[in-house]
């Protein structure tokens, strides 16, 4: 049994990770640490953990690291880069769910996060935890920057198209709609039920941090600098992201060329490419680690429209973190993640 | 008192029209006709009409027209073009809420609606009922093609920008999200609560009929043929549409130029242009006849992002129909429509 | 024009009151005061107030009272009893939406609110603002304790039955389900979207304050002390309350007897008694000042089941306050409140 | 591997059963039959079954039974009693999710279901599939009447109290609130999103079929005939039931006595008795096979208020069916059902 710990176990992503790890056959959870609820039972904070008498620990990074093979950090950005150095020094491999270790270039991070990076020296060893792109490097990594939710949904939809050169790298538009859990478990008025229900809003237009993360990976795919428009929206659902992506197909590109580009996912356990103009919906993937992607080539308008969906707490956070762990530990990549989605 | 009738009073748009007309001080409702519920009380079908002893009539177009100054037709497309000729012949002015009389060119209608147009001869006299563009012609019209919900939301956001030439006419993307009432009151499985709730989906990608209506009006604004991408989405809310629109600003265009373009709405009673990067949300407009529009000029990505919102049953259907009626009858355009939105 | 002010205009009940007053033909709003947002525009806080350039005032009770005929106080309990004495002394008539002036007996208030009453001396002159019971006294009142939302829904359903003696005063059960706006506009985690959505919970079982208010009025109706079970529930909707009430019919009581008891509402503008086993639903009343009530006499089980519904922000708060104002000012009681509900 | 089949695999309960069985380590699914979708892929009907190439079969009962150890029938009532005799004759053990085999007395069934029972002769051998009560008989059974959703939620909350005699058998009130999936996957207008969303309604007051099923089992517990009031409500959530139950505690009964009664669940894997006045919420159990139950003894009002929650598709249908199968097959009762609930 691999010994794992979760630091920040009582946010939404942390709790989802606890839920997934509890069902994983090859790990044992040694610490679940929480700043706000240390000393209390996890089932007091989330009564859905009915079976558990898991007691939440303090954030004693030294002890947590020493006791663990793998530590998941589910902390706010900034807090992760403060915690990671000690966790790594004390021996554990770290999978970080914040934005802190997703960047190749600390300057980009600082420009978009508007704060100094707390552990620049670690960026060169951290691996961007997207198995479909970096599986081999993940296997060896000591520090994973687990990708963001919007970013996973957008990158996996676009990566093959840019890598295979079937679309222009310029002028891409990503219009994304997310459930409210993406904002975390917080008391902000903006996330109150009466403020969110029966409405939809755009936010962070042109400034959302995930833009830079998407651009980093898509530039890598394209072999040229990609600058794009990314607009997130808040919709009154708990979980799930749908991205509707608009790109210009290169001259002469056909449906078949696009399908060929997506063939790189043929053996991927969690990427489902839809056939023949069928498109994923959020309810097709919620509750699972799957990402669904489909497309329509609108010849009349000269546009390729790609739609991708994932569960922001699973493939967009905790599930992808478990997938990374499975790779790092040499487990079957599907272990603990093979369940069918909920639909309802 | 102007005598009005509603044909198709028990669909969602028809019932909303009945609600608005009931609060209008200068009209009396002489007939409310329903194919499915003739002979029953409106309050049996919609118990919210608690005060009413309105009995639903048969669809006797001759009698309805003879008794009415204005007839609103809230019928499926195809049914409206079948009903309108007789209604007009018998003397009433007609405001039609279907797509049947929104087109200048019957061929375009037939190409997008996949059916022959039933009253081609009337298209030359019908007026597209968007007061912000055609107010003067509406005042004189005998037949109004009341605009669609998605189309109103998109056209009013883009019309000034194309008319003033601050954006390219090419490459426009409209990503729209609508509440479920836009699909009408029907028993389709796709609109069942458990199928819609906690999910979002794109549909009609590249093929939705409203595309052609939007392109017709924006081509008129631009003075050149506009071909664009329009993608509707279904979100789990009852009412409201938000459109997120991506356009390429012409070289050198500034926020101030864009604001100047929107100045054409300065005296419009129902168009609210947001200041300084503020953006409308669906809950800002639901329950009112208002359309909100705001924008962000994303210089980094070279994109203008415009967001517009309306209540699909009011400014997107019944409210705009009442607004048209007010203009046709010489009433204050705000009569019956001046209420504040609900927010909650 | 009667001059009115709203103290606490930016909570949900206060904002709803502002919305209703804005549509009222016989009042002008002279002050809208807000502790949190003084100096800002109401439309900044609630962009649905699009037409308005209402600037929010400080809570200067002396000035507000001097300038106003009627002041509505939408403050937390405790705060109202602190504000009311000065408001009254300076000349205005006060309609208070908190629990502070709903009680005949300050000891009952203190026992259920767990705090001393701040203005015991005013209780003897305050009138419980339920027009269906106290219309005449309301007309003369200088201080109104505007009823609670749950309480209005329960009292109006049961008052006639107890007054006419068709049910036992003992053993009544009120199982109520409310939308989230009843909890006010606050940042509490318990009201966050992800905590409320797709769930239902009971709360305050046996201890909710509205129990005492319901018992006070029903004891008055019954002519004996009524002690009952009241259980509120939170459901994932914004507005509306439905109360399902279980009572024991007295021996020999028939449907007809029950209907006769409800005949006291025959001329009531806002109470809708349903026929023949039909039952109200929340969507029948939301958006209106109506209360719907229906019943089933379950002879097999020996139970009378009564169902009542209202919009907690209208008949359960702001609408009832306007109704009280209409009575106090000699207006038509329906002025500003006659609109049809939304259904959608 | 035990061979199982699902007849009626594409309704909501059937699909949920398919989802649970797919994750069960000790069974293989040999047939998934569907009247409406025979010949199509399950993943066409529910795209959440992404991994699957399960082809839906015709309803050939003879073949299905011959190939299977256990057949789950997820059919409308009436259809199950038509199918069961042949399924049983051909050798399979049957777990029926309809109401057809839940009754000891066919006359009761016929009185509440308003139709003749199609297989009266089988009732004497069918076992009511509630493991907490009938575990031993379930192990041996050839035909299980899998309990209803409302009924499981109510019976498990009340059974110990009546068995131990801590409450009166008379005067019990069960006020239940259910998600919409309980109504099945159908195209009824009453279940359309716009009809259900933002509203709550009571239905079937005094006449809901589950009343008779609850009374049957509680009469068994009490040793006397129990007649009670059961009122179901529809709330705008997909899954989950919460029952708020009002009973009269017998004289002198204390919290401790009630807790002692619930001690019968101490070793139950799926019944969670809450401590100290804590109460379950729907989100505590959704996604799991757990039933949560808590209580408040309201001494002031002389009432015991019990609150119980379950996921109507799991412990209220498919999960309980799997639990029954586990018992029938000698598996660990938790196999395939041990996951933590979703909370979000």
pLDDT digits (tens, 9 = 90+) for B213-230: 999 999 999 999 999 999
Task: List, edge to edge, every strand of the sheet that includes B93-96.
Answer: B27-33, B2-7, B70-73, B93-96, B143-145, B127-128
Q: Which of A32, B238, B183, B339 is nearest to D198 (CA)?
A: B238
Determine the residue of chain C that is closest to A195 in CA distance: C193
The confidence band for B50, taking pLDDT boundaries of 50, 70 and 90, is confident
Whether A51 has a pLDDT exceeding 90, the answer reads no
What own/partner pairs with CB < 8 Å and gap ≥ 24 does C267-276 have? C268/C132, C269/C333, C269/C334, C269/C337, C269/C338, C270/C315, C270/C323, C270/C334, C270/C337, C271/C132, C271/C156, C272/B50
Where in chain B are the domains? Answer: 2-125, 150-312
Whether A52 has a pLDDT exceeding 80, the answer reads no
B26 touches D at CB < 8 Å = no
Whether D294 has a pLDDT exceeding 80, the answer reads yes
Q: Which of B65, B60, B71 is nearest to B17 (CA)?
A: B71
pLDDT of residue B202: 98
Q: Is residue C95 within 8 Å of residue C129, measured between CB atoms?
A: yes
* Option in A48, A197, A343 nearest D284 (CB): A48
Mean of pLDDT values over A156-161: 98
pLDDT digits (tens, 9 = 90+) for D9-30: 999 999 999 999 999 999 999 9
Q: Which A residues, 41 through 80, put their C-beta within 8 Å of a C-beta on chain C?
A: none
**Count of Cβ atoms closer than 10 Å to residue B40 Cβ:** 14
Cβ pair A194:C186 closer than 8 A = no
CA distances from B57 to B5, B33, B317, D183 (A): 10, 4, 22, 33
Mean of pLDDT values over B157-185: 98
Q: Is residue D344 within 8 Å of residue A239, measured between CB atoms?
A: yes
pLDDT digits (tens, 9 = 90+) for D60-90: 999 999 999 999 999 999 999 999 999 999 9
CA distance C230 to C220: 18
Rg (CA), chain C: 19
DSSP state of C54: P
In degrees and rounded to multiples of 5, residue C316 shows phi and psi of: -90, 0
Task: Report chain D residues whose CB lies below 8 A from the CB of C203.
Answer: 279
Whether D131 has a pLDDT exceeding 80, the answer reads yes
B189 touches D at CB < 8 Å = yes
Dihedral angle over CA of A43, A47, A49, A51, nearest 10? 80
* Option in A195, A236, A279 nearest B236 (CB): A236
Q: Is residue C122 within 8 Å of residue C84, measured between CB atoms?
A: yes
Task: Report chain A residues whose CB lies below 8 A from the CB of D238.
Answer: 344
pLDDT digits (tens, 9 = 90+) for A174-202: 999 999 999 999 899 999 999 999 999 99
Task: Return mean pLDDT, chain A.
Answer: 97
pLDDT of residue C151: 98
Determine the residue of chain B that is closest to C337 in CA distance: B23
Whether A239 has a pLDDT exceeding 90, the answer reads yes
Cβ pair D341:A48 closer than 8 A = yes
What own/partner pairs with CB < 8 Å and gap ≥ 24 does D252-259 have? D253/D166, D253/D167, D253/D297, D253/D304, D254/D297, D255/D295, D255/D297, D257/D164, D257/D166, D258/D161, D258/D166, D258/D295, D258/D297, D258/D304
Whether B158 has a pLDDT exceeding 80, the answer reads yes
**Contacting partners of chain A (3+ CB pairs under 8 A):** B, C, D
pLDDT digits (tens, 9 = 90+) for A246-272: 999 999 999 999 999 999 999 999 999
Q: Is residue C31 within 8 Å of residue C69, measured between CB atoms?
A: no
The confidence band for D53, taking pLDDT boundaries of 50, 70 and 90, is confident
- As given in the structure block, the two tokens for residue A211 are 């833009």
Q: Which of D314, D215, D299, D199 is nearest to D249 (CA)?
A: D299
Q: Is residue C120 within 8 Å of residue C106, measured between CB atoms?
A: yes
Cβ pair A198:C236 closer than 8 A = no
Rg (CA), chain D: 19
3-state secondary structure chain B: CEEEEEECCCCHHHHHHHHHHHCCCCEEEEEEECCCCCCCEHHHHCCCCCCCCCECECCCHHHHHHHCCEEEECCCCCHHHHHHHHHHHCCCEEEECCCCCCCCCHHHHHHHHCCCCCCHHHCCCCEECCHHHHHHHHHHCCEEECCCHHHHHHHHHHHHHHHCCCECCCCCEEEEEECHHHHCCCCCHHHEHHHHCCCCEECCCCCCCHHHHHHHHHHHHHCCCCCCEEEEEECCCCCCEEEEEEECECCCCCHHHHHHHHHHHCCCCCEEECCCCCCCCHHHHCCCCCEEEEEEEECCCCEEEEEEEECCCHHHHHHHHHHHHHHHHCCCCCCCCCCCCCCC
pLDDT of residue B53: 83
Task: Report chain A residues whose CB lies below 8 A from the CB of B177.
Answer: 177, 200, 233, 235
Catalytic residues of B: 149
pLDDT digits (tens, 9 = 90+) for A115-128: 999 999 999 999 99
Question: Which of A18, A22, A32, A47 has the most D C-beta neighbours within 10 Å, making it the best mutation to test the interface with D?
Answer: A47
Q: Which helix H or strand E contains C220, and what residues bound it?
A: helix C210-222
Dihedral angle over CA of C42, C44, C45, C48, nearest 10? 80
Whether B198 has a pLDDT exceeding 80, the answer reads yes
In degrees and rounded to multiples of 5, residue C119 shows phi and psi of: -155, 60
pLDDT digits (tens, 9 = 90+) for B176-186: 999 999 999 98
DSSP state of C147: P
Task: Report chain B residues whose CB lies below 8 A from the CB of D194.
Answer: 12, 180-181, 185, 191, 238
The confidence band for B47, taking pLDDT boundaries of 50, 70 and 90, is very high
* Option in C202, C227, C244 nearest D307 (CB): C202
* Option in A46, A272, A340 nearest D343 (CB): A46
Task: Report chain B residues whose CB lies below 8 A from the CB of D198.
Answer: 238
A223: left (phi over 0), alpha (psi -120 to 50) or beta: left
- As given in the structure block, the two tokens for residue C331 are 């207006």
**B–C CB contacts, 8 A cutoff, strictly below:** 93
The CATH number of domain A2-125 is 3.40.50.11890? no
Q: Which fold has domain A150-311?
A: Dihydrodipicolinate Reductase; domain 2 (3.30.360)
State what percent of residues in chain D have pLDDT above 70.
Answer: 100
Task: Report chain B residues whose CB lies below 8 A from the CB of A307.
Answer: 202, 205
C108 touches D at CB < 8 Å = no
Q: Which of D151, D134, D336, D140 is nearest to D230 (CA)?
A: D151
Cβ pair A300:B246 closer than 8 A = no
Question: Which of B197, B235, B283 has the most D C-beta neighbours within 10 Å, making it the best mutation to test the interface with D?
Answer: B197
pLDDT of residue C52: 67
Q: Which B residues, 223 through 242, put their C-beta within 8 Å of a C-beta on chain A?
A: 227-229, 231, 233, 235-240, 242
Q: Which of C325, C341, C176, C211 is nearest to C270 (CA)?
A: C341
Task: List, edge to edge, every strand of the sheet that includes C127-128.
Answer: C27-33, C2-7, C70-73, C93-96, C143-145, C127-128
D344 touches A at CB < 8 Å = yes
CA distance B17 to B34: 13
Domain D150-312 sits in CATH at 3.30.360.10
Say if residue D124 is exposed, middle or buried (CB neighbours under 10 Å; 0-12, 13-18, 19+).
exposed
Point out which residues pair with A178 in neighbouring strands. A234, A241
Q: Which of D252, D227, D225 is nearest to D167 (CA)?
A: D252
pLDDT of residue A246: 98
Point out which residues pair with D249 in neighbouring strands. D167
β-bridge pairing D241-247 and D303-310: antiparallel
Point out which residues pair with C41 in neighbouring strands. C55
pLDDT digits (tens, 9 = 90+) for D239-279: 999 999 999 999 999 999 999 999 999 999 999 999 989 99
β-bridge pairing B201-202 and B229-234: antiparallel
Task: List, edge to edge, every strand of the sheet that includes A27-33.
Answer: A27-33, A2-7, A70-73, A93-96, A143-145, A127-128
Task: Return mean pLDDT, chain B.
Answer: 97
Mean of pLDDT values over B309-331: 98
Mean of pLDDT values over A28-45: 96
Q: Which residues contact D205 (CB under 8 A, 6 or more apart)?
A: C277, C279, C296, C298, C305, C307, D231
Cβ pair A200:B282 closer than 8 A = yes
Question: Which of A16, A197, A239 has the most C C-beta neighbours within 10 Å, making it the best mutation to test the interface with C?
Answer: A197
Strand, helix or coil for residue D72: strand
State what percent of residues in chain A have pLDDT above 70.
Answer: 100
**Count of Cβ atoms closer than 10 Å to residue B343 Cβ:** 25
State what percent of residues in chain D have pLDDT above 90.
Answer: 98
Q: Which residues contact A123 (CB under 8 A, 6 or more apart)?
A: A101, A103, A104, A105, A106, A117
The confidence band for D52, taking pLDDT boundaries of 50, 70 and 90, is low
* Option in A12, A185, A187 nearest C187 (CB): A187
Q: Which residues of chain C have pLDDT under 50?
A: none
Task: Report chain B residues whose CB lies below 8 A from the CB of A244.
Answer: 175, 202, 231, 233
D292 touches C at CB < 8 Å = no
Q: Is residue C242 within 8 Å of residue D233, measured between CB atoms?
A: yes
Cβ pair A205:B177 closer than 8 A = no
CA distance D146 to D56: 23
A149 is catalytic: yes
**Count of Cβ atoms closer than 10 Å to residue A151 Cβ:** 28
Residue written as token pair 């010849």: A299
Strand, helix or coil for residue C318: helix
Residue count of chain D: 344
Cβ pair D22:A340 closer than 8 A = yes
């Amino acid at each position: 049994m691999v010994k794992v710990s979760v630091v920040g176990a009582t946010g939404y992503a942390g709790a989802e990770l606890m839920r997934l790890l509890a069902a994983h056959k090859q790990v044992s959870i040694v610490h679940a640490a929480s700043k706000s609820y240390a000393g209390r039972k996890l089932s007091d904070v989330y009564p859905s953990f009915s079976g558990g008498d898991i007691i939440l620990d303090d954030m004693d990074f030294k002890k947590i690291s020493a006791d663990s093979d793998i530590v998941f950090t589910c902390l706010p950005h900034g807090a992760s880069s403060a915690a990671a150095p000690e966790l790594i020094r004390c021996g554990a491999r770290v999978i970080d769910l914040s934005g802190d270790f997703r960047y190749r270039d600390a300057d980009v991070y600082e420009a978009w996060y508007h704060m100094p990076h707390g552990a620049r020296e670690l960026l060169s060893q951290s691996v961007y935890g997207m198995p479909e792109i970096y599986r081999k490097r993940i296997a060896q990594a000591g520090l994973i920057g687990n990708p963001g939710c919007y970013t996973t949904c957008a990158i996996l939809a676009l990566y093959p198209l840019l890598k295979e050169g079937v679309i222009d790298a310029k002028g891409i538009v990503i219009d994304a709609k997310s459930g409210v859990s993406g904002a975390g478990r917080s008391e902000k008025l903006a996330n109150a039920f009466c403020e969110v229900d029966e409405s939809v809003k755009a936010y962070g237009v042109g400034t959302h941090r995930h833009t830079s993360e998407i651009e980093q990976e898509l530039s890598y795919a394209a072999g040229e600098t990609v600058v794009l428009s990314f607009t997130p929206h808040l919709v009154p659902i708990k979980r799930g992201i749908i991205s509707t992506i608009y790109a210009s197909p290169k001259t002469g590109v056909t449906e078949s060329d696009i399908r060929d580009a997506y063939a790189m996912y043929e053996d991927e356990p969690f990427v489902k490419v839809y056939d023949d103009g069928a498109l994923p919906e959020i309810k097709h993937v919620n509750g699972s680690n799957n990402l669904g992607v489909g497309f329509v080539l609108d010849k009349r308008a000269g546009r390729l429209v790609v739609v991708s969906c994932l569960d922001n707490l699973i493939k967009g956070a905790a599930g992808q973190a478990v997938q990374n762990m499975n790779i790092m530990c040499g487990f079957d990549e599907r272990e603990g993640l093979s369940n069918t989605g909920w639909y309802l």
